[in-house]
A and B are shown apart, each in its own frame.
Chain A
């Protein structure tokens, strides 16, 4: 009877070869474990690395059915993949948590988030964040926190996130210090992040009166903290960025200044 209620449909993820979405509908009772295992048997594990179980229309998952999911996940993990749950109803998610399933499976709020996780982890998809803000020093702490939170959310360690935050703080403070003042002027921050590295480009309109000082600072060969004298007040920021990052380029011309920083993920 329960078995009749169950419907299983396998769909490709548009634009991706290595992922599948399996839509389950109905009650996953102990009577239907053969259908679940049969579904996992049809998967080509040499090409499919990531399976998203869409549970939006599932009202019950028995422990026997959960065992079948664990079997399916094991086969995927052995070939370097994963099986995740998406769109679980709140009460069902609570029950699975009580069964400890959240220690084995990852849960996503919707299939879109699960697909994004696949693209991020397996296709090394780049994600972009773009921020434009006026040159006010008080805005720098919220900006550095935003970038740090995004890095942590994307799986970067606390240490990496803190280093990224420090870089952003220095670059933005420099852009404000050497740029034109006024609420109608803006500084652009472009962040590109993938599982291996994060890149930033901060562009600002330079103040002509501060251009010479800025160019002198950029041309200086002393972007090395160890070479800076203890009483030296200028150039520490760039030296710090250079020390914390893997690549630093500064392009300064009459129209504006653009600072590009690349930081590889360490942990």
Chain B
């Protein structure tokens, strides 16, 4: 059966940095078999790496914490939605300010990851629900090669 757009891939993995290289490679391969260019797949891989690292480092506090990554794949764009259990107030405030800040304000050691994601995406939003569950939503448009 051939690929039909749009479609969704959902992943849940342990809050452990060890899993991230396999996850980012997986997303890259999925995009390539969906006829996105190698360059697009590689840049998307970088986004997945950054947001997954943030989710594991700042959003996984319990020993059994996991990270949920959803990837919606359209013909002309992709959307990522990453959810974690939520970090400390300090980390959430920092994430908020990094996303809201002007690009030049975030180019510091700590905000560099978010800045790379912002550069590579069309839009980036953050949602924090009543139970502190944090989700980051990213849209990235297909690039002409």
Contacts and interface: CB of A to CB of B under 8 A. Distances in A.
Interface size class of B (residues with CB under 8 A): 20 to 34
A184 to B, nearest CB: 8
A224 interface: no
A205 B16 CA distance: 31
Contacts of A141: 29, 33
Q: Is the contact region of chain B dominated by helix, strand, or loop, or is it mixed?
A: mixed
Interface residues of A, number: 36
Contacts of B131: none
A136 B9 CA distance: 11
A136 B26 CA distance: 15
Nearest to B71: A133
A113 B5 CA distance: 37
A176 B1 contact: yes
Interface in A155-188: 176, 181-183, 186
A153 B34 CA distance: 26
Nearest to A131: B11
B57 A183 contact: no
Interface stretch (A22-30, A144-152, A239-247, A256-264): A144-152
Contact of B57 (A110, A137, A186): A110
A139 B21 contact: no
B107 interface: no
Interface string A118-154: 0100000001111111111111011101100110011
Interface string B50-92: 0000001100100100100000000000000000000000000
A100 interface: no
Contacts of B4: 134, 136, 182-183
Contacts of B29: 141-142, 145
B17 A110 contact: yes
B17 A134 contact: no
Contact of A130 (B11, B18, B60): B11
Interface of A: 14-15, 109-110, 112-113, 115-116, 119, 127-139, 141-143, 145-146, 149-150, 153-154, 176, 181-183, 186
Given A110-B57, A112-B60, A183-B5, 16 more contacts: A109-B17, A116-B18, A129-B14, A130-B11, A132-B11, A137-B1, A139-B30, A139-B33, A142-B29, A145-B25, A145-B29, A146-B25, A146-B26, A149-B21, A149-B22, A153-B21
